[in-house]
Amino acid sequence: MGDEVVLLGDVTPSLAELIEAGPERWLAIREGTAAQPRVPLADCQPLLPVAPRDYVDFYASLEHATNVGRLFRPDQPLEPNWRHLPVAYHGRAASVIVSGSAVARPSGQLGQGRFGATQALDFECELGFVCGPSTDLGEPVPVESARERIFGVVLLNDWSARDIQAWEYRPLGPFLGKSFATSISPWIVPLDLLPAAGARAQDPAPLPYLQDPNPTALDLNIEVAINGEVVTRTNAQNLYWTLPQMLAHATVNGAPLGAGDLFGTGTISGPERGSEGCMLELFGGERWLADGDEVVLSCPELGDCRGRVG
């Protein structure tokens, strides 16, 4: 993150149109920014960088899935399908908000015959990846070319109302417990500029459409603070499924891709104590977010993603 911003208004009408133009145009814009006007970063107001037409959130961390599963299914923490496909759900694209936006405490059903404001508000430390150009209905994105369609990466906080989620998610998955707010950082950092690491071994080997010929992870250290107190530190290379695998799976049935579509990795947790990516794992249901609490996700390469409970 630098101290100045390059103005691209004379080069491209909008970020969505740039994403639609494809990788060659992305590179040309990056290489041509030296002569473009600049303004101090401090003079800029963070805005939502792109309005996604669609938003999907994955569940791609082995440790997170195991930790959460152990709380509810001690005898079988991982569902039988988990190591065979990147599990995901569709979120509400309209509730994606920029870092710094206030987050209202949501209400919903808390159990049988009970309605009210959530008493179990949580954060989820994730990456988001923004994709394009668009594809047509019935045009899957093969895993071997999926990396070329990943425009860039943001920090993402998938705010979660755990009590609402626990009551509603069976049999169709998260709904009101997740759809009230998803915060992202204001700067989309190109994938090629981020440090890579070797991807985790996958056992069993995935089906052919998920066999990534160049499996790599992102070596990004992320920490989360609540009211200035660091509660967890993790790294994106802990993810079990790769970004290309997630994108390939999301489109293998022919679902179209839109320029600027947003995909979340799911909570990123590591194997060490203190690397869990949400309060449910960190505190086992003994601590949740209070009104006025500010949550800040930080990464040297991606900046901050912050939000205060309103």
Dump pLDDT digits (tens) for 276-310.
999 999 999 999 999 999 999 999 999 999 999 98
Q: Which of 103, 222, 85 is nearest to 154 (CA)?
A: 222
Residues forming the active site? 64
Residue that wins the pLDDT comparison between 297 and 73:
297
> At 242, is the pLDDT very low, low, confident or very high (cuts 50, 70, 90)?
very high
> At 255, is the pLDDT very low, low, confident or very high (cuts 50, 70, 90)?
very high
What is the residue extent of each domain of the chain?
Answer: 1-44, 46-308
- Region of 80 (left: φ > 0; alpha: ψ -120 to 50; beta: rest) is alpha
Q: Which of 225, 221, 224, 268 is nearest to 243 (CA)?
A: 268
Q: Which helix (H) or strand (E) holds 69?
A: helix 62-72
In whole angstroms, what is the distance from residue 161 CA to residue 165 CA?
6
Dump pLDDT digits (tens) for 170-216.
899 999 999 999 999 999 999 999 999 999 999 999 999 999 999 99
> At 11, is the pLDDT very low, low, confident or very high (cuts 50, 70, 90)?
confident
In whole angstroms, what is the distance from residue 204 CA to residue 305 CA?
35
> At 9, is the pLDDT very low, low, confident or very high (cuts 50, 70, 90)?
confident
DSSP label at residue 262: E
**Average per-residue pLDDT in the chain?**
96
> At 8, is the pLDDT very low, low, confident or very high (cuts 50, 70, 90)?
confident
- Which string of DSSP letters, residue by residue, matches 186-223? S--EEGGGSPEEEPPP-SSPPPGGG--SS-EEE--EEE
> At 236, is the pLDDT very low, low, confident or very high (cuts 50, 70, 90)?
very high
Strand ranges, E, within the chain: 4-6, 38-40, 55-58, 88-90, 96-98, 107-111, 114-117, 121-122, 125-131, 150-157, 160-161, 182-184, 189-190, 196-198, 216-218, 221-226, 229-235, 261-264, 294-299, 303-308
Strands 189-190 and 196-198: unpaired
pLDDT for 2 equals 72
Letter for the amino acid at 35? A
Mean pLDDT value of segment 155-171: 96
Mean pLDDT value of segment 37-52: 91
pLDDT for 131 equals 98
> At 37, is the pLDDT very low, low, confident or very high (cuts 50, 70, 90)?
confident
pLDDT for 10 equals 77
Check whether 1 has a pLDDT greater than 70.
no
Letter for the amino acid at 226? I
Q: Which of 103, 59, 114, 96 is nearest to 81 (CA)?
A: 59
Query: Using an 8 Å Cβ cutoff, are 240 and 200 in contact?
Result: yes
Check whether 252 has a pLDDT greater than 80.
yes
pTM for the full predicted model? 0.97
In whole angstroms, what is the distance from residue 209 CA to residue 142 CA?
7
Mean pLDDT value of segment 215-224: 98
Other CB atoms closer than 10 Å to residue 166's CB: what's the count? 15
**CATH assignment of 46-308, among 3.40.50.80, 3.40.50.300, 3.60.15.10, 3.90.850.10:** 3.90.850.10
